Structure formats: C-alpha cells, structure tokens
Amino acid sequence: MRRVLGVLGGVVLLMLLWEGYKAVGDPEGTKLFGTRVLPRADDQSMPHLLDVVRRLSRPELTGGRPVWHVVFDACLFTLGVTAVGFAAGTLIGFILAALMQRFRVVERGLLPYVVLSQTVPLVALAPLIAGWSGALSFGPYPWEPWMTVAVIAAYLAFFPVAVGLLRGLQSPTASGVELMRSYAAGWWRTFLKLRLPAALPYLFPALRLAGAAAVVGAVVGEISTGTRGGIGRLVIEYSREATSDPAKVYTAMAGAALLGLVVAAFVGLLELPLMRHRRRVEVNVI
C-alpha cells in the first residue's frame, strides 16, 4: 500500500514539476552564452497536461478512432512483443547462467562475449536481425515482423538475467555446497535445493532490469525495423505531427511510460510468493 502511494506521489510530483516549469519558464527557453540550457516552455514544446488528457478522447484523425483507443491498442501490441521477448530472454539468460555455473570453462569463455553483446549499438543490430530472420519460418508459419522485434527485446533482456543469476548461483558458501556434498547430492539436486533458492534475491532485481530492457528493446526495435502496430512506431508517427498537434505525441509517450510501469509491476508481483521468508524476517520474536 505504501509503495502504491509512493508511486502515485512520484507521478503527482512529476506533474507539478511539468506545470510548474511551464508556469515560470521562459517560453523561448533559457539561453546561456548562446546555448540553450533550459527547454522552451511554450505550448508547442510543453503542452498543458490537461490538453494531453483532452487529446486522448478526441479522434486520431478526423472521423477516426479516439486517440486513447489507438494508444491502448498499440500498447497492447507492444506489451505482447515485450512479453515474448522477456520470456525468451529470461529463458536464454537462465540457461546461460546455469551452464556458466556448471562449467567453469563456459564461464571463462562465454562471459566476456555476454558483456560484449550489450555494447553493440541496438540501432546497428536491428536491421541485421531483421535481415537474417526474414529468411526464417516455423514450418507453415512464416516469420512475422513482430518476431524480429521480440528477438531484439530478448537480446537486451537476457543480459541482466544471465549475469545476475550467475552471481546468485555462485553465492552459496563453501560450507553450504559441502553440506549438499555430504548428503551425496549431485549437481542437479544441489542446483535445485541450494543454488537456485539462494539465487532468488539476485534474480529478482535482474528480472526487473530485464523487464525494463525488454520494453526498451521492443520500442526501439519497432522504430528501427519499421514494424507497424506498436507504441514505438506510434511515437514516431505522432512526432511528425508535433508542430501542428503537440499534445498528440505526448499521449503516445505517456502510453510507452505506462507500458514500462505495467511490466515493472508484473515483475514485482512475481517476487511476492517466492520471497516470503524475507518479509517474515522482520517479525523478530527472540
């Protein structure tokens, strides 16, 4: 409950900052030695929040569907892509972390490349993935453009999971591992009973990062591959109308932000049932 209030408070604070700056800021922006240090505060650059909200209910184009409906559908589309990318990325990260924990050689050989993978600029990578995957198909099902976007989301999402989970799997103390050995438990049972539960406190922050990365991957992936139907694409489309209809692009951006919050909340929910002991610790009896 306190967390929900915290989030709401943060949103209200942001809104106050926005409108507050708009009220006191120079409409032409503040310049220092010819360089703009504060943004323009005119209606064109920073529309009133109320205008943005009003814009949601008006049609996208004359006679079209209302903007909120379009934004909502686009968010839903991107949410689906994000979910697929997040799931695939988490699975891949999980497998990589388990392999790296099991085989020292794999860790030494693979970990540098896992890190390296994230330094490749996404914008350069996206057309490449689109190019490769265009030639793929699952039997009778052809490769869809959204799958390319999901691949990009997964590409960003697997990294925190692989690195975070690996650290978690390696976190049990030597005596814990020896205890399992004294029970004649093999690698698999040690993994299930000791390493995996011990890794959970490391896994959840990693999943949160992965969720955020998957959203970014999906949005940027849509933009750089030109996939239609998602919120990323919508931001680009609406920003073309920014001069004539400044409130419109902010509706799409608000949608993208909301999408991020939904994914973050979902990952937060995953955590609840599995971290019971953490919460109970606070009830110290002795």
Partner 1 sequence: MTAVSIAGVSKVFNAGRADEVTALSDVDLTVDNGQFVSLIGPSGCGKSTLLRLIADLTEPTAGTVTVAGKPAAKARHDQEYGIAFQQAGLFEWRTVRRNVELPLELRKVSRAERRTRAEEMLALVGLSDFGGHYPAQLSGGMQQRVAIARALAVHPPLLLMDEPFGALDEMTRERLQAELLQICAKTGTSTVFVTHSISEAVFLSDKVVVMSARPGRITATIDIALPTRDEAARQSPEYFALVTDVRKALRA
Among 31, 65, 108, 181, binds partner 1 (CB under 8 A): 181
Smallest separation, CB 21 to partner 1 (Å): 46
Polymer length of the chain: 286
Q: What is the dihedral of CA 211, 215, 217, 223, to 10 degrees?
A: 180
- d(CA 132, CA 274) in angstroms, rounded, equals 39
For partner 1, which is the closer residue by CB, 138 or 282?
282
Closest distance to partner 1 from the beta carbon of 101 (Å):
18
192 within 8 A of 124, measured Cβ to Cβ: no
The H or E element containing residue 142 is strand 141-142
Distance (Å, whole) CA 209 – CA 212:
5
Is residue 65 involved in binding partner 1 (CB under 8 A)? no
Closest approach, Cβ 169 to partner 1, in A, equals 14
* Beta pairing partners, 36: 31
**Among 185, 236, 242, 253, contact with partner 1 (rule: CB under 8 A):** 185
Amino acid at 111: L
CA dihedral angle for residue 23, residue 26, residue 27, residue 32, rounded to 10 degrees: -150
Residue from the set 189, 228, 240, 265 that interacts with partner 1 by CB under 8 A: 189
Question: Binders of partner 1 among 200-229, rule CB under 8 A?
Answer: 200
| Stretch binding partner 1 (CB under 8 A), from 44-52, 205-213, 261-269, 277-285 | 277-285
Exactly one of 99, 122, 198, 257 binds partner 1 (CB under 8 A); that residue is 198
Instruction: Output the DSSP codes for 84-130.
Output: HHHHHHHHHHHHHHHHHHH-HHHHHHHHHHHHHHTTS-HHHHHHHHH
Binding to partner 1 by residue 280, rule CB under 8 A? Answer: yes
| Nearest-approach distance from CB 96 to partner 1, in angstroms | 24
- Residue 187 touching partner 1 (CB under 8 A): no
Among 65, 173, 240, 265, binds partner 1 (CB under 8 A): 173
Closest distance between partner 1 and the C-beta of residue 186, in Å? 10
Give the contacts of 163 (CB within 8 A, at least 6 positions apart). Answer: 97, 114, 115, 206
Q: Per rule CB under 8 A, is residue 281 in the interface with partner 1?
A: yes
Measured from the Cβ of residue 175, the count of other Cβ atoms closer than 10 Å reads 9
Q: Which residues bind partner 1 (CB under 8 A)?
A: 173, 175-176, 178-185, 189, 193-194, 197-198, 200, 277, 280-281, 283-286
